[in-house]
C-alpha cells in the first residue's frame, strides 16, 4: 500500500468509549444478529441439495456462494446510490423485513423452483442476496456517522468480531438442525433473526451528519461521479484491489473446505459429516474472531496499511499449510488438526485485512459519496468472488474435488504475490528508506499501543526545509513520542553522548541521524554537526530546558535552539508533551503505561532578529519559545505565567 498521511487527531463528538455509544451498540448488535441469519440455514440448504452424496461437492458449494453473491455484483452501483440518496437506517430496516418474509416462505420457494433447470433451485438464495446487497453499503456508509474518526479500526474490528461470533454460533446450530430436523426449522429461525435486527435498528437515533445529508441532498450525485472519484484516487483503487484478492481467494478456500472434510479429514461414511463441515467453518470464524479481538485491543496503534501487508503474508502462509494437508500423505488425525489450525490462522489474518480495509475507506471517503463508493467496492469484491466460484461451479468439471490441493496452492501464490506487491508499493511511496521505515513503524506501534499516544491536532512541521522542534522535557520517552507523532519527516535529536555507546541504541541513533553531545562541557563539535544537519534541510529536535525537569520546577530555557535557528534560518516548531510520568530512572518510563499526549504549535520564523543577536535577545527569544510550549499544554494543568513574549516588543 502507498504511504498514507497520519490522521490520528482525536475529534470531538460521539462518546470516547464505544461501549457507551448507544447508537453504535444498536448497529453493532443488529449486524451480529443479521450475520447469524445469513448462515443458520446454510447446512439445511446443502442437505436439501443432496450434498452428502454429491460427486462434486466443491462445485455445489461454489454455486451456492455464486448465486447468493451475484446481486452484490449486479446491483452494487444501484444500492450504493440508494445508500447516498435515502435514509440509510431505513434502507437497512426495509432489507431486514423483506429478508425475513422470504425466509419464512423459503421452504415453499425451494419446492416452487425445484424440478426445472439446475439453476432454478438457487433462485431463493438469489432473492436473499438482493436484499443483503441493499443492506451492505448502507451499513458501511452509516457506521462512520455514529462514531469518532479515531475509533474506526476498533469499531470495524468489533463489528467483524461480533459477526464472526454470530457466524460460528449459527454454523454450529445450523449443522445440528440440518442433521436432526427438517430444513424449514432452520429457515424460520433465520427469518426471526432478520426481524430482531430490524427492531434493533428502529431504536437508533439518526446522527446530525446523517440528517443533514438527507435534508441537503448532498448524496444526490450519480454512479458516474463515484466511478470518477474511485479512478482518480490511487489509494481507493489499491484498497479495493487488495480486498478483491482476499474475497476471491477466501471464496475458493471456503468452497474447498467441505471437500477436504469429507475426503481428507474424515473416514468415508462418517455420520458426523455435516456437523464437521460446520465446525470447520466455525474454525474459520474462530480465527476471524481472534483477529478482531487483537485489532480491538490494538485499536489504531498498528497502522492499517502495514496491517494489510503483513496480514496478506499470514493468509498465504495459512493457505500453504492447508494445501499441504491435501497433497502430502499423512494420518487423518494429523491432517485434521493441522488443517483446522491453518483455517483458524487464515481467519485471524483475513480479519486483519478486512477491518483495516473498511477503516481506511471509511476514513478517507467523504460522507456524501461514501455509500456509492462502497456499492462500487461491493461490485469489485463480488466480481472477484463470482470469478472464483463461477470457475469452480459453472463448467462441467470431472472429479474437481481431487484437484482441491492444487487449487489451494494457486490461491496461496496469488495471496503471497499481492502481499509482496503491497509491501513494495508502500516502501516506494514512503519518504523514508526501508531500514528507517521498519524502525519508525516499530516505534509508532510501540508508542501508540503501549503509551496510548494521541496527537491533538495536526503535525505542523513543514514538509521541507530546516526545522527545529523545541519541546518540554519531563520523561526519557519524550523523543520517541515526538518521532511517533510526526508522520512524514524524521526528527533527529541532540542526545547525551553516553547513550551512543549502548549497542542497540547506537544503531537507532545512527539511523535517525541523532547528534551525540558531551554534557560535561560546551561541545563545539556537536554544535557544528547540528548546524550542518539543519543547513542540509533536515529536522532537529531540542529540549529547550536542557534536561528532564521534575514536576513544578521552573527551569530557565537554554539559548541553543534560538541560536541555531537564527544562524541557519530554520523554522521553529513548539511542541508540548503531557501525560507522561517523571522518573529519575531513564529505563523505567519505557515499561510504564501512560496516556501520552503531543500537541504541535504553529511554526515560528526568527529571521526578523537578524543573524547576530545579543545575549539578552537570545534569552528573551528562548523565554518566548518556552511560553509558546506551555501554551500548548492542557488547559486544566496550565498556571498563570509571566508573558515572556512581552520582553521582545
3-state secondary structure 542-566: EECCCCCCCCCCCCCCCCHHHHHHH
Return the H-helix or E-strand segment holding 502.
Answer: none
Among 240-244, 503-507, 539-543, the least confident range: 503-507
Here the cell at position 72 is: 452484490
> In this prediction, what percent of the chain has a pLDDT beyond 90?
16
DSSP result, 577-606: EES----S-SSGGGGS----EEEE---B--
Q: What is the share, in percent, of the chain residues with pLDDT greater than 70?
A: 87
Question: What are the boundaries of each domain within the chain?
Answer: 19-429, 437-648
DSSP single-letter state for residue 49 = T
3-state secondary structure of 504: helix
Report pLDDT for 444: 86
Rounded Cα distance between 119 and 132, Å, is 20
Q: What is the pLDDT of residues 249-305, one digit of tens each?
A: 888 888 888 888 888 888 777 777 777 777 787 788 788 878 878 877 776 677 777
Q: What is the pLDDT of residues 83-118, one digit of tens each?
A: 888 888 999 999 999 999 998 998 888 778 776 666
For residue 49, give every residue at least 6 positions away whose Cβ sits within 8 Å of its Cβ, in sequence order, or none. 60, 64, 121
242 near 415, Cβ under 8 Å? no
Cβ-proximal residues to 355 (8 Å cutoff; 6+ apart), any chain: 153, 156, 157, 160, 291, 292, 295
CB 574 within 8 A of CB 471: yes
Q: Residues 378-383: what's their mean pLDDT?
A: 80
Sign of torsion over alpha carbons 169, 170, 175, 178: positive
Mean pLDDT along residues 390-394: 72
The string of DSSP codes covering 248-314 is HHHHHHHHHHHHHIIIIIS-TT-TTHHHHHHHHHHHHHHHHHHHHHHHHHHTTSS-HHHHHHHHHHH
As a whole number, mean pLDDT of residues 552-562 equals 82
Q: Tell me if 242 sits within 8 A of 2, measured CB to CB.
A: no
**Contacts of residue 3, Cβ cutoff 8 Å, sequence gap at least 6:** 305, 426, 429, 430, 431, 488
pLDDT tens column, 215-248: 555 555 567 777 888 888 888 888 888 888 888 8
Q: What pLDDT shows up at residue 52? A: 59
What CATH fold (topology level) applies to the domain 19-429? Growth Hormone; Chain: A; (1.20.1250)
Instruction: Please give the Cα distance from 545 to 557 (Å, whole number).
Output: 5
Residue with cell 468439471: 397
402-422 mean pLDDT: 89
The pLDDT tens digits for 291-341 are 878 877 776 677 777 888 889 999 999 999 989 998 888 888 888 889 889
pLDDT tens profile 193-219:
999 999 999 999 877 766 666 655 555
Gap between the Cα atoms of 499 and 517, Å rounded: 10
CATH topology of domain 437-648: Glycerol-3-phosphate (1)-acyltransferase (3.40.1130)
CB atoms within 10 A of CB 7: 16
Reduce the DSSP state of residue 441 to 3 states and report it: helix
Give the integer Cα–Cα distance in Å for 624 and 631: 11
Amino acid at each position: 500500500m502507498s504511504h498514507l498521511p497520519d490522521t490520528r487527531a482525536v475529534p470531538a463528538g460521539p462518546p470516547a468509549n464505544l461501549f457507551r455509544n448507544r447508537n453504535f451498540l444498536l448497529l453493532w448488535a443488529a449486524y451480529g444478529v443479521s450475520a447469524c441469519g445469513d448462515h443458520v440455514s446454510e447446512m439445511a440448504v446443502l442437505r436439501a441439495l443432496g450434498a452428502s452424496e454429491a460427486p462434486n461437492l466443491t462445485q455445489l458449494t461454489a454455486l451456492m456462494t455464486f448465486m447468493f453473491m451475484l446481486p452484490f455484483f449486479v446491483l452494487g452501483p444501484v444500492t450504493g446510490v440508494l445508500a447516498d440518496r435515502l435514509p440509510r437506517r431505513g434502507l437497512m430496516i426495509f432489507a431486514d423485513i423483506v429478508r425475513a418474509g422470504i425466509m419464512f416462505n423459503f421452504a415453499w420457494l425451494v419446492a416452487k423452483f425445484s424440478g426445472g433447470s439446475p439453476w432454478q433451485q438457487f433462485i431463493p438464495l438469489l432473492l436473499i442476496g438482493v436484499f443483503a446487497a441493499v443492506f451492505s453499503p448502507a451499513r458501511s456508509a452509516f457506521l462512520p456517522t455514529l462514531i469518532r474518526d479515531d475509533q474506526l479500526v476498533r469499531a470495524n474490528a468489533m463489528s467483524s468480531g461480533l459477526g464472526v461470533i454470530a457466524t460460528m454460533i449459527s454454523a454450529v446450530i445450523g449443522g445440528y438442525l440440518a442433521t436432526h430436523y427438517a430444513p424449514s426449522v432452520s429457515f424460520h429461525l433465520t427469518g426471526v433473526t432478520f426481524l430482531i435486527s430490524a427492531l434493533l435498528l428502529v431504536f437508533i437515533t439518526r446522527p446530525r451528519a446523517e440528517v443533514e445529508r438527507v435534508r441537503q441532498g448532498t448524496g444526490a450525485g450519480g454512479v458516474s461521479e463515484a466511478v470518477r472519484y474511485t479512478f482518480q484516487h490511487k489509494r481507493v483503487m489499491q484498497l479495493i484491489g487488495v480486498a478483491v484478492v482476499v474475497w476471491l481467494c477466501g471464496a475458493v478456500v471456503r468452497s474447498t473446505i467441505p471437500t477436504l472434510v469429507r475426503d481428507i479429514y474424515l473416514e468415508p461414511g462418517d455420520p458426523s459429516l455435516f456437523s464437521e463441515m460446520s465446525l470447520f467453518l466455525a474454525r474459520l470464524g474462530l480465527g476471524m474472531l481472534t483477529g478482531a479481538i487483537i485489532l480491538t485491543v490494538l485499536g489504531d496503534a498498528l497502522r492499517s496499511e502495514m496491517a494489510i501487508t503483513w496480514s496478506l503474508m499470514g493468509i498465504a502462509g495459512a493457505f500453504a499449510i492447508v494445501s499441504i494437508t491435501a497433497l502430502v500423505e499423512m494420518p487423518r488425525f494429523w491432517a485434521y488438526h493441522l488443517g483446522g489450525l491453518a483455517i483458524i490462522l487464515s481467519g485471524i489474518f483475513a480479519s486483519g485485512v478486512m477491518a483495516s480495509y473498511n477503516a481506511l475507506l471509511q476514513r478517507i471517503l467523504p460522507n456524501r459519496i461514501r455509500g456509492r463508493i462502497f456499492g462500487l467496492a461491493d461490485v469489485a469484491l463480488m466480481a472477484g468472488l463470482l470469478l472464483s466460484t463461477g470457475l469452480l461451479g459453472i463448467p462441467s468439471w470431472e472429479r474437481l474435488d481431487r484437484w482441491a490441493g492444487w487449487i489451494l496452492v494457486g490461491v496461496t501464490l496469488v495471496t503471497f504475490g499481492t502481499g509482496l506487491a503491497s509491501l513494495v508499493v508502500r516502501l516506494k511511496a514512503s519518504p523514508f528508506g526501508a531500514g528507517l521505515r521498519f524502525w519508525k513503524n516499530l516505534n509508532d506501534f510501540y508508542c501508540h499501543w503501549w503509551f496510548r499516544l494521541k496527537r491533538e491536532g495536526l503535525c505542523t512541521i513543514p514538509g521541507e526545509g530546516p526545522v527545529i522542534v523545541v519541546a518540554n522535557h519531563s520523561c526519557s520517552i519524550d523523543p520517541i513520542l515526538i518521532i511517533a507523532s510526526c508522520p512524514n519527516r524524521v526528527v533527529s535529536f541532540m542526545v547525551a553522548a553516553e547513550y551512543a555507546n549502548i549497542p542497540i541504541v547506537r544503531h537507532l541513533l545512527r539511523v535517525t541521524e541523532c547528534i551525540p553531545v558531551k554534557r560535561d562541557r560546551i561541545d563545539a563539535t556537536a554544535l557544528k554537526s547540528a548546524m550542518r544537519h539543519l543547513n542540509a534541510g533536515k529536522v532537529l529536535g531540542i529540549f529547550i530546558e536542557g534536561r528532564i525537569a521534575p514536576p513544578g520546577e521552573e527551569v530557565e530555557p537554554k539559548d541553543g535552539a534560538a541560536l541555531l535557528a537564527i544562524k541557519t534560518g530554520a523554522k521553529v516548531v513548539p511542541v508540548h508533551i503531557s501525560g507522561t510520568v517523571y522518573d529519575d530512572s531513564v529505563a523505567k518510563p519505557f515499561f510504564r503505561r501512560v496516556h501520552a499526549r503531543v500537541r504541535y504549535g504553529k511554526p515560528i520564523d526568527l529571521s526578523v532578529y537578524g543573524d547576530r543577536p545579543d545575549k539578552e535577545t537570545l534569552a528573551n527569544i528562548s523565554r518566548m519559545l518556552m511560553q509558546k510550549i506551555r501554551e500548548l499544554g492542557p488547559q486544566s494543568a496550565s498556571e498563570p505565567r509571566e508573558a515572556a513574549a512581552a520582553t521582545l516588543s
